Every structure is written in C-alpha cells, then in structure tokens.
Amino acid sequence: MWSQGRGTLGFAAERGFDTLWPMALLVLNHSPHSGIERLGETLNDFGHNLRTINLHEGDPLPVDLDSVDGIVSCGGTPSANDDSLEWLAGEMDLIRAAHEHCLPVVGLCLGGQIATRALGGTVAQRDDGMHLGWAEVSLTPTGREDPLHAGIAWTSPQFHWNREHVVAPPKGARVLATSPNCAIESWALGLRTYALQYHPEIRRETIDVWIDDDPYALEEAKLTRDELANATDKHIATMQRLADRLFTSMALVLMPVDRRYKGVAKQLHH
C-alpha cells in the first residue's frame, strides 16, 4: 500500500477523496494567482473536461487514474524543492504514475519543475536571481522536429517569472528549447510528457496580478513596471498567436479527446 503519510498519494485517501468524477484532465494549481488560463480555454474548445485541484487550498489528489485523461500542472509561487509542502510528494507520485501509463502530462513553469523532479531530473536556484520579463526562446534542432511545435517560429518571445530552473532534465528527455538566460526552457520525455519553463498560458492582466502580489520581484529583476509594460506591448500579441498554435497541437495531438484512457491505470495502490 502507498504510505498514508502526508505528502504522498495516501494523503489523498486521508483527505477523503472518494467522489466519482467523469473523465477529465486534471489541472493542478499551486497558488491563487496562477492557473491554466488560455490553455484551458483551448482545451475546452476542443471538448475536454477540466477538473481543477487547488493544492494550495488543501484539495486532495486522486488515489487512482481511472477518471483521468491527463494532467496539466500549473505555475505558482512555491519552490519545487520545498519538501515541506504537504502536497508536493503526492503530486510527484501522481505525475510519475501518469507518465508511466502514457497519460499526457504538461508542466508550466513550477509545474514543469515538479515534473522534472518527479521523473528524476534536478531543479535549482538560478545563480543570477530572478528571471522576470520577456526573453527570446529558441527551439533546438530536436524541438523543431517535435510534432507539438509544428508551425511555431524557431525563435519567439516568451514571458518568464521564476527564481528556480531546471539544471538537469530527466534521463532520456529531449531538450526542445533554450535561451541565453535558461539552457533548458522546455523538455519532453516519451511521447506525452512535456515541461515548459516559460508562460505561454498567460493573459496580459496576469502580469499585473503577479506584480501586485509580489512587487519586490521587479526590484530583484532590475525592472520598472513601465519597462515591463512596454516590453509586454511589444511581444504579447506574437507570443499569444504562437501559443494558440501550441495549445491547438496539445489538444489535437497530445490530448485527443476521441482517445480515452479509462482503465489503463487502475488503483495506484499495490
């Protein structure tokens, strides 16, 4: 049996997760101001059911994958290395199980870092501190051949907000994108697990919400609010246009709604 200790899949059972749900993509939230946002809109448009689990509010994780089509692990303010978080070990267990059963997994920023740790990679503090703002992200030769990135410009502006980064992806992972400030901007493992360090999911107003929530971050990044707003004016339309292509590929290629996974993974207990 899985341990009933806090921070494991057993914690889900301890919290009383016994409700039957229809097949759905799990959306794992880690803070009140980060979520699936525009990616969720696209997935809904293509017929996916989304079920949100607010881990920061104490929502339990499922004890099995029987009603799970896939996982989107979102961003947030916690550290991916903070093992005192009562939900972190359980989330890593869930991601590991989903990957092993070939269910789609997408990690966004913090979510990608958690997926990295779950599958054996390493996350660390950035040596040069806060990475906040817009940066040019380039697809690697491998990334240019990746089916999810078909039609995506080889170099594109992407928004970042992170103090930690992936320093070693999981064994066997393919590095899909890089930038001058981050050697591993995106990686994939197998056919259905993807992690991104940047934030293609955001709306413009998301940036303002994050600044209001963490105003010291601008000082850390040596940016003013006006400088960031001007850069956002310049880049966000391009980013969102390319992100829409990526999200459509996720909906049609990575998570096709006509392909159900129910029954491939029974109880995670053994």
Q: Domain tally for the chain?
A: 1
Is residue 262 assigned to a domain?
no
Token code pair at residue 26 = 């799990």
CB 72 within 8 A of CB 28: yes
Is residue 14 assigned to a domain?
yes
Q: Whole-angstrom Cα distance, residue 183 to residue 190?
A: 20
Is residue 264 assigned to a domain?
no
Phi, psi of 54 (to 5 degrees): -90, 90
Is residue 263 assigned to a domain?
no
pLDDT tops 90 at residue 138: yes
Give the CATH number of the domain where residue 62 resides. 3.40.50.880
| Better-scored residue on pLDDT, 4 or 81 | 81
pLDDT tops 50 at residue 5: no
Is residue 91 assigned to a domain?
yes
Q: Whole-angstrom Cα distance, residue 176 to residue 262?
A: 30
Q: Helix 225-249 crosses helix 37-45 at what angle (to 10 degrees)?
A: 30
Tens of pLDDT, residue by residue over 198-221, are: 999 999 999 999 999 998 999 999
The CA-based dihedral angle spanning residues 22, 28, 33, 39, taken in that order and rounded to the nearest 10 degrees: -70
DSSP string computed for 209-224: HHHHH-THHHHHTT--
pLDDT tops 80 at residue 249: yes
Work out the percent of the chain whose per-residue pLDDT is above 70: 87
Specify the pLDDT at position 10.
Answer: 38
Is residue 154 assigned to a domain?
yes
Is residue 149 assigned to a domain?
yes
| Residue ranges making up the domain that contains 37 | 9-254
Is residue 79 assigned to a domain?
yes
